[in-house]
Amino acid sequence: MKRTRTSRALRRALVAALAVVLLLAALAGGYVVYLFCTYSRLEDNLALEVAGTAESAVPVGEPVSLVTWNLGFGAYSAGYSFFMDGGTESRAYSAEAVHENVGAMLERLAALDADLMLLQEIDVDATRSYHVDESALVRDAFPERDAVFAQNYDSAYLFYPLSEPHGASRAGQMTLSRFTIASALRRSLPVETGVMKFFDLDRCYSVSRIPTANGRELCLYNLHLSAYTSDGAIVGEQLRLLLSDMAAERAAGNYAVAGGDFNMDLLGNSGEIFGVAGEDYTWAQPFPAELLPEGIALVSSRDADAPVASCRNADRPYEPGASFTLTVDGFLVSDNVTVLECVVIDEGFAHSDHNPVQAVFLLEA
Protein backbone atom coordinates (compact mmCIF):
# COMPACT_ATOMS: atom_id res chain seq x y z
CA MET A 1 0.00 0.00 0.00
CA LYS A 2 2.78 2.40 0.92
CA ARG A 3 4.60 1.73 -2.35
CA THR A 4 1.38 2.30 -4.32
CA ARG A 5 0.82 5.65 -2.66
CA THR A 6 4.44 6.62 -3.31
CA SER A 7 4.13 5.62 -6.98
CA ARG A 8 0.93 7.62 -7.36
CA ALA A 9 2.53 10.67 -5.77
CA LEU A 10 5.53 10.32 -8.05
CA ARG A 11 3.30 10.04 -11.11
CA ARG A 12 1.33 13.11 -10.06
CA ALA A 13 4.58 15.04 -9.59
CA LEU A 14 5.83 13.95 -13.01
CA VAL A 15 2.53 14.89 -14.66
CA ALA A 16 2.61 18.30 -12.94
CA ALA A 17 6.20 18.87 -14.04
CA LEU A 18 5.36 17.85 -17.61
CA ALA A 19 2.38 20.21 -17.60
CA VAL A 20 4.61 23.08 -16.50
CA VAL A 21 7.15 22.25 -19.21
CA LEU A 22 4.42 22.10 -21.87
CA LEU A 23 2.93 25.37 -20.63
CA LEU A 24 6.31 27.11 -20.78
CA ALA A 25 6.93 25.69 -24.25
CA ALA A 26 3.52 26.93 -25.41
CA LEU A 27 4.21 30.39 -23.98
CA ALA A 28 7.65 30.50 -25.63
CA GLY A 29 6.18 29.36 -28.94
CA GLY A 30 3.39 31.89 -28.69
CA TYR A 31 5.91 34.63 -27.97
CA VAL A 32 7.97 33.70 -31.02
CA VAL A 33 4.81 33.81 -33.15
CA TYR A 34 4.00 37.21 -31.62
CA LEU A 35 7.46 38.54 -32.52
CA PHE A 36 7.25 37.42 -36.13
CA CYS A 37 3.63 38.52 -36.61
CA THR A 38 4.19 42.00 -35.19
CA TYR A 39 7.53 42.66 -36.92
CA SER A 40 7.35 45.26 -39.66
CA ARG A 41 9.53 47.93 -41.25
CA LEU A 42 8.60 51.39 -42.41
CA GLU A 43 8.63 51.92 -46.15
CA ASP A 44 11.70 53.37 -47.84
CA ASN A 45 11.76 56.97 -49.12
CA LEU A 46 9.13 58.02 -46.62
CA ALA A 47 8.40 61.76 -46.63
CA LEU A 48 8.81 63.31 -43.17
CA GLU A 49 6.91 66.19 -41.64
CA VAL A 50 8.80 69.42 -41.10
CA ALA A 51 7.66 71.47 -38.10
CA GLY A 52 8.67 75.08 -37.46
CA THR A 53 8.77 78.48 -39.10
CA ALA A 54 12.47 79.11 -39.83
CA GLU A 55 12.86 81.28 -42.93
CA SER A 56 16.57 81.80 -43.63
CA ALA A 57 18.88 79.99 -46.06
CA VAL A 58 22.27 78.55 -45.15
CA PRO A 59 24.96 81.18 -45.84
CA VAL A 60 27.76 80.35 -48.27
CA GLY A 61 31.35 81.09 -47.31
CA GLU A 62 30.46 81.79 -43.68
CA PRO A 63 30.94 79.56 -40.60
CA VAL A 64 28.01 77.31 -39.70
CA SER A 65 27.97 75.28 -36.47
CA LEU A 66 26.69 71.73 -36.15
CA VAL A 67 26.41 69.40 -33.17
CA THR A 68 25.55 65.70 -32.99
CA TRP A 69 24.58 63.95 -29.76
CA ASN A 70 23.12 60.56 -28.96
CA LEU A 71 20.90 61.24 -25.93
CA GLY A 72 20.78 57.57 -24.89
CA PHE A 73 16.97 57.64 -24.37
CA GLY A 74 17.52 59.67 -21.20
CA ALA A 75 18.75 56.71 -19.16
CA TYR A 76 22.52 56.92 -19.05
CA SER A 77 23.60 58.82 -16.01
CA ALA A 78 27.25 58.14 -15.15
CA GLY A 79 26.34 55.27 -12.83
CA TYR A 80 24.09 53.49 -15.31
CA SER A 81 24.96 50.22 -17.05
CA PHE A 82 22.91 48.54 -19.81
CA PHE A 83 22.15 44.83 -20.09
CA MET A 84 22.83 44.61 -23.84
CA ASP A 85 26.33 46.00 -23.20
CA GLY A 86 27.00 43.53 -20.38
CA GLY A 87 25.59 45.70 -17.59
CA THR A 88 22.60 45.24 -15.31
CA GLU A 89 19.87 47.76 -16.17
CA SER A 90 17.17 47.28 -18.80
CA ARG A 91 15.27 50.53 -18.19
CA ALA A 92 16.03 54.03 -17.00
CA TYR A 93 16.07 54.35 -13.23
CA SER A 94 12.75 56.24 -13.25
CA ALA A 95 10.68 58.72 -15.23
CA GLU A 96 12.16 61.44 -13.04
CA ALA A 97 15.66 60.34 -14.05
CA VAL A 98 14.66 60.52 -17.73
CA HIS A 99 13.41 64.09 -17.28
CA GLU A 100 16.55 65.02 -15.37
CA ASN A 101 18.95 63.60 -17.96
CA VAL A 102 17.11 64.90 -21.02
CA GLY A 103 16.57 68.28 -19.39
CA ALA A 104 20.27 68.64 -18.56
CA MET A 105 21.28 67.76 -22.12
CA LEU A 106 18.78 70.19 -23.61
CA GLU A 107 20.18 72.95 -21.39
CA ARG A 108 23.66 72.12 -22.66
CA LEU A 109 22.49 72.15 -26.26
CA ALA A 110 20.86 75.53 -25.71
CA ALA A 111 24.16 76.84 -24.36
CA LEU A 112 26.07 75.48 -27.36
CA ASP A 113 23.47 77.14 -29.61
CA ALA A 114 24.64 75.37 -32.76
CA ASP A 115 22.93 76.32 -36.03
CA LEU A 116 22.18 72.66 -36.76
CA MET A 117 21.57 69.80 -34.30
CA LEU A 118 21.48 66.07 -34.99
CA LEU A 119 20.09 64.07 -32.06
CA GLN A 120 19.69 60.28 -31.76
CA GLU A 121 17.91 57.83 -29.44
CA ILE A 122 14.93 60.04 -28.81
CA ASP A 123 12.14 57.93 -27.32
CA VAL A 124 8.55 58.76 -28.20
CA ASP A 125 6.78 55.96 -26.37
CA ALA A 126 8.92 53.30 -24.73
CA THR A 127 8.79 51.04 -21.71
CA ARG A 128 12.49 51.65 -21.05
CA SER A 129 11.93 55.40 -20.58
CA TYR A 130 8.57 55.14 -18.79
CA HIS A 131 6.67 56.45 -21.83
CA VAL A 132 8.14 59.94 -21.56
CA ASP A 133 7.76 61.65 -24.95
CA GLU A 134 11.30 62.91 -25.33
CA SER A 135 10.63 64.26 -28.83
CA ALA A 136 8.11 66.68 -27.31
CA LEU A 137 10.69 67.78 -24.71
CA VAL A 138 13.20 68.51 -27.48
CA ARG A 139 10.65 70.33 -29.61
CA ASP A 140 9.47 72.46 -26.67
CA ALA A 141 13.08 73.43 -25.89
CA PHE A 142 13.67 74.79 -29.41
CA PRO A 143 10.30 76.02 -30.69
CA GLU A 144 11.83 78.59 -33.05
CA ARG A 145 13.75 76.02 -35.10
CA ASP A 146 12.62 73.79 -37.92
CA ALA A 147 12.44 70.20 -36.69
CA VAL A 148 12.26 66.79 -38.34
CA PHE A 149 11.67 63.54 -36.47
CA ALA A 150 12.46 60.21 -38.17
CA GLN A 151 11.27 57.05 -36.43
CA ASN A 152 14.13 54.61 -36.29
CA TYR A 153 12.28 51.63 -34.85
CA ASP A 154 9.06 50.49 -33.20
CA SER A 155 10.00 47.23 -31.50
CA ALA A 156 7.77 44.51 -30.14
CA TYR A 157 7.72 43.90 -26.39
CA LEU A 158 11.00 42.28 -25.34
CA PHE A 159 10.37 39.97 -22.35
CA TYR A 160 13.99 40.13 -21.22
CA PRO A 161 15.52 40.35 -18.70
CA LEU A 162 12.80 38.38 -16.95
CA SER A 163 13.25 40.35 -13.72
CA GLU A 164 12.49 43.64 -15.49
CA PRO A 165 11.70 43.26 -19.21
CA HIS A 166 13.09 45.88 -21.57
CA GLY A 167 9.63 46.15 -23.10
CA ALA A 168 8.56 47.89 -26.30
CA SER A 169 10.30 50.92 -27.76
CA ARG A 170 9.34 53.52 -30.34
CA ALA A 171 12.26 55.83 -30.93
CA GLY A 172 14.11 57.81 -33.56
CA GLN A 173 16.33 60.74 -34.35
CA MET A 174 15.59 64.44 -34.56
CA THR A 175 17.11 67.16 -36.70
CA LEU A 176 16.87 70.80 -35.61
CA SER A 177 17.77 73.71 -37.86
CA ARG A 178 18.01 77.46 -37.55
CA PHE A 179 17.55 77.51 -41.32
CA THR A 180 14.54 76.51 -43.40
CA ILE A 181 14.15 72.79 -44.02
CA ALA A 182 12.36 72.64 -47.36
CA SER A 183 11.67 68.88 -47.20
CA ALA A 184 12.85 65.72 -45.47
CA LEU A 185 12.97 62.03 -46.27
CA ARG A 186 13.45 58.81 -44.31
CA ARG A 187 15.69 56.22 -45.97
CA SER A 188 15.44 52.63 -44.75
CA LEU A 189 18.80 50.97 -44.08
CA PRO A 190 19.66 47.29 -44.59
CA VAL A 191 19.25 45.33 -41.34
CA GLU A 192 19.89 41.81 -40.09
CA THR A 193 17.57 38.99 -41.14
CA GLY A 194 16.25 35.98 -39.27
CA VAL A 195 16.17 36.05 -35.49
CA MET A 196 18.83 38.79 -35.33
CA LYS A 197 16.40 41.29 -36.83
CA PHE A 198 14.64 41.46 -33.46
CA PHE A 199 17.86 42.82 -31.92
CA ASP A 200 18.90 44.98 -34.89
CA LEU A 201 15.35 46.40 -35.14
CA ASP A 202 14.48 48.84 -37.91
CA ARG A 203 17.15 51.32 -38.95
CA CYS A 204 17.17 54.47 -41.04
CA TYR A 205 18.79 57.78 -41.74
CA SER A 206 16.97 61.00 -42.49
CA VAL A 207 17.98 63.59 -45.07
CA SER A 208 16.82 67.18 -44.65
CA ARG A 209 17.05 69.48 -47.66
CA ILE A 210 18.00 73.00 -46.64
CA PRO A 211 18.21 75.80 -49.26
CA THR A 212 21.51 77.66 -49.44
CA ALA A 213 22.18 81.29 -50.28
CA ASN A 214 23.53 80.40 -53.74
CA GLY A 215 20.44 78.47 -54.82
CA ARG A 216 21.77 74.98 -54.13
CA GLU A 217 20.84 72.66 -51.27
CA LEU A 218 22.55 71.44 -48.13
CA CYS A 219 21.59 67.78 -47.74
CA LEU A 220 21.87 67.11 -44.02
CA TYR A 221 21.87 63.45 -42.97
CA ASN A 222 21.06 62.27 -39.44
CA LEU A 223 22.15 58.68 -38.83
CA HIS A 224 22.29 55.98 -36.18
CA LEU A 225 23.79 52.82 -37.60
CA SER A 226 23.36 49.34 -36.13
CA ALA A 227 25.20 48.19 -33.02
CA TYR A 228 23.93 44.73 -32.08
CA THR A 229 24.67 42.69 -35.19
CA SER A 230 25.96 39.16 -35.78
CA ASP A 231 29.20 39.96 -37.60
CA GLY A 232 29.30 43.70 -38.33
CA ALA A 233 28.88 43.22 -42.09
CA ILE A 234 25.45 44.84 -42.10
CA VAL A 235 26.96 48.15 -40.92
CA GLY A 236 29.13 48.16 -44.03
CA GLU A 237 26.03 47.73 -46.19
CA GLN A 238 24.33 50.60 -44.37
CA LEU A 239 27.37 52.80 -44.91
CA ARG A 240 27.50 52.00 -48.62
CA LEU A 241 23.90 53.17 -49.07
CA LEU A 242 24.55 56.41 -47.21
CA LEU A 243 27.77 57.15 -49.10
CA SER A 244 26.12 56.44 -52.44
CA ASP A 245 23.35 58.88 -51.59
CA MET A 246 25.82 61.57 -50.53
CA ALA A 247 27.98 61.08 -53.63
CA ALA A 248 24.93 61.48 -55.87
CA GLU A 249 24.04 64.78 -54.20
CA ARG A 250 27.61 66.01 -54.58
CA ALA A 251 27.54 65.08 -58.27
CA ALA A 252 24.34 67.12 -58.61
CA GLY A 253 26.18 70.16 -57.22
CA ASN A 254 24.66 70.10 -53.75
CA TYR A 255 26.42 70.08 -50.38
CA ALA A 256 26.29 66.85 -48.35
CA VAL A 257 26.90 66.64 -44.59
CA ALA A 258 26.11 63.57 -42.49
CA GLY A 259 26.43 63.26 -38.74
CA GLY A 260 25.46 60.96 -35.93
CA ASP A 261 26.28 57.69 -34.23
CA PHE A 262 28.16 55.39 -36.61
CA ASN A 263 28.68 52.63 -34.02
CA MET A 264 32.17 52.25 -35.53
CA ASP A 265 35.54 53.22 -34.16
CA LEU A 266 36.07 56.37 -36.22
CA LEU A 267 39.64 56.73 -34.99
CA GLY A 268 40.52 53.11 -35.73
CA ASN A 269 42.55 52.68 -32.54
CA SER A 270 40.50 54.27 -29.77
CA GLY A 271 41.80 51.76 -27.22
CA GLU A 272 45.34 53.03 -27.69
CA ILE A 273 44.31 56.68 -27.76
CA PHE A 274 42.15 56.61 -24.64
CA GLY A 275 44.19 54.11 -22.65
CA VAL A 276 41.83 51.16 -22.12
CA ALA A 277 42.29 48.14 -24.40
CA GLY A 278 39.23 47.16 -26.39
CA GLU A 279 39.91 43.51 -27.25
CA ASP A 280 36.87 42.42 -25.24
CA TYR A 281 34.62 44.97 -26.95
CA THR A 282 34.21 43.92 -30.56
CA TRP A 283 30.93 45.68 -31.40
CA ALA A 284 32.63 48.80 -32.79
CA GLN A 285 34.95 47.86 -35.63
CA PRO A 286 37.31 50.40 -37.25
CA PHE A 287 35.65 52.65 -39.81
CA PRO A 288 36.24 51.17 -43.29
CA ALA A 289 37.92 54.13 -44.96
CA GLU A 290 38.23 52.13 -48.18
CA LEU A 291 34.47 52.55 -48.70
CA LEU A 292 34.72 56.33 -48.96
CA PRO A 293 34.00 57.45 -52.54
CA GLU A 294 35.87 60.28 -54.19
CA GLY A 295 34.63 63.60 -52.87
CA ILE A 296 33.43 62.34 -49.45
CA ALA A 297 35.60 62.53 -46.32
CA LEU A 298 35.29 61.37 -42.72
CA VAL A 299 35.64 64.05 -40.05
CA SER A 300 36.24 63.16 -36.40
CA SER A 301 37.95 64.76 -33.43
CA ARG A 302 41.65 63.81 -33.07
CA ASP A 303 42.95 66.22 -30.43
CA ALA A 304 46.36 64.70 -29.66
CA ASP A 305 47.01 66.96 -26.67
CA ALA A 306 43.80 66.27 -24.78
CA PRO A 307 41.83 63.46 -26.50
CA VAL A 308 38.17 63.11 -25.51
CA ALA A 309 36.11 60.05 -26.42
CA SER A 310 32.56 60.41 -27.69
CA CYS A 311 31.19 57.16 -26.23
CA ARG A 312 31.65 54.81 -23.26
CA ASN A 313 30.86 51.12 -23.16
CA ALA A 314 28.01 50.75 -20.67
CA ASP A 315 28.93 47.39 -19.19
CA ARG A 316 29.66 49.14 -15.91
CA PRO A 317 29.18 52.56 -14.28
CA TYR A 318 31.49 55.10 -15.86
CA GLU A 319 34.92 55.19 -14.27
CA PRO A 320 37.55 57.46 -15.89
CA GLY A 321 40.64 55.50 -16.81
CA ALA A 322 38.93 52.13 -16.30
CA SER A 323 35.89 52.19 -18.61
CA PHE A 324 36.42 51.41 -22.28
CA THR A 325 35.82 54.57 -24.29
CA LEU A 326 36.00 55.30 -27.99
CA THR A 327 34.85 57.75 -30.66
CA VAL A 328 31.87 56.56 -32.69
CA ASP A 329 30.23 59.94 -33.32
CA GLY A 330 31.36 62.26 -36.09
CA PHE A 331 30.66 63.51 -39.59
CA LEU A 332 30.98 62.82 -43.29
CA VAL A 333 31.26 65.79 -45.64
CA SER A 334 31.45 66.37 -49.38
CA ASP A 335 34.51 68.12 -50.77
CA ASN A 336 32.66 71.40 -51.31
CA VAL A 337 32.32 71.68 -47.52
CA THR A 338 35.32 72.96 -45.54
CA VAL A 339 35.47 71.85 -41.90
CA LEU A 340 37.08 74.51 -39.72
CA GLU A 341 36.81 72.68 -36.41
CA CYS A 342 35.64 69.37 -34.98
CA VAL A 343 35.78 68.65 -31.26
CA VAL A 344 34.27 66.22 -28.76
CA ILE A 345 32.87 68.19 -25.84
CA ASP A 346 33.70 66.50 -22.54
CA GLU A 347 30.49 66.15 -20.54
CA GLY A 348 31.95 63.33 -18.45
CA PHE A 349 29.12 61.03 -19.62
CA ALA A 350 27.02 62.61 -16.88
CA HIS A 351 23.67 62.22 -18.67
CA SER A 352 24.33 59.97 -21.68
CA ASP A 353 26.75 57.26 -22.73
CA HIS A 354 27.78 59.70 -25.48
CA ASN A 355 29.45 63.09 -25.42
CA PRO A 356 28.35 65.70 -27.96
CA VAL A 357 30.55 66.36 -30.99
CA GLN A 358 30.56 69.85 -32.49
CA ALA A 359 31.88 70.96 -35.87
CA VAL A 360 32.14 74.32 -37.59
CA PHE A 361 32.10 74.29 -41.38
CA LEU A 362 31.49 76.54 -44.33
CA LEU A 363 29.99 75.90 -47.74
CA GLU A 364 32.33 76.75 -50.57
CA ALA A 365 31.01 79.21 -53.14
Residue 123 shares a structural domain with residue 16:
no
Model pTM score: 0.91
pLDDT tens digits along 242-266: 999 999 999 999 999 999 999 999 9
Query: Residue 188: which domain range?
Result: 41-363
Residues of the chain with pLDDT under 70: 1-5, 24, 27-40, 193-201, 228-232, 302, 304
Same domain, 84 and 24: no
Shared domain check, 6 and 155: no
Domain count of the fold of the chain: 2
* pLDDT at position 42: 83
pLDDT given for residue 301 in this prediction: 86
Instruction: Examine the domain organization and report whether 20 and 138 are in the same domain.
Output: no
What SS3 class is residue 119?
strand
**Helical segments of 119-268, H only:** 134-141, 197-200, 233-251
CA distance 89 to 190: 28
The whole-angstrom separation of Cα 224 and Cα 313 is 16
- Clarify whether residues 12 and 126 are in a common domain: no
In terms of domains, do 251 and 342 share one? yes
Q: Is residue 6 domain-shared with residue 54, that is, in the same domain?
A: no
DSSP strand pairing (50-51 vs 116-126)? unpaired
Tell me, yes or no, whether 140 and 254 share the same domain: yes
Instruction: Output the pLDDT for position 347.
Output: 97
14 with 64, same domain: the answer is no
| Residue 14 buriedness (CB in 10 A; 0-12 / 13-18 / 19+) | exposed
Residues 6-25 have pLDDT tens digits of: 777 777 777 777 777 777 67
| Sheet of 357-363, strands arranged across | 50-51, 146-158, 167-177, 116-126, 64-70, 357-363, 337-344
- Regarding whether 45 and 33 lie in a shared domain, the answer is no
**Cβ-count burial of 363 within 10 angstroms (0-12 exposed, 13-18 middle, 19+ buried)?**
buried
Whether residue 177 sits in one domain with residue 77: yes
Q: Identify the CATH number of the domain in which residue 86 sits.
A: 3.60.10.10
Amino acid 153: pLDDT: 86
- Do 5 and 149 lie in one domain? The reply is no
- Identify the pLDDT of residue 196: 54
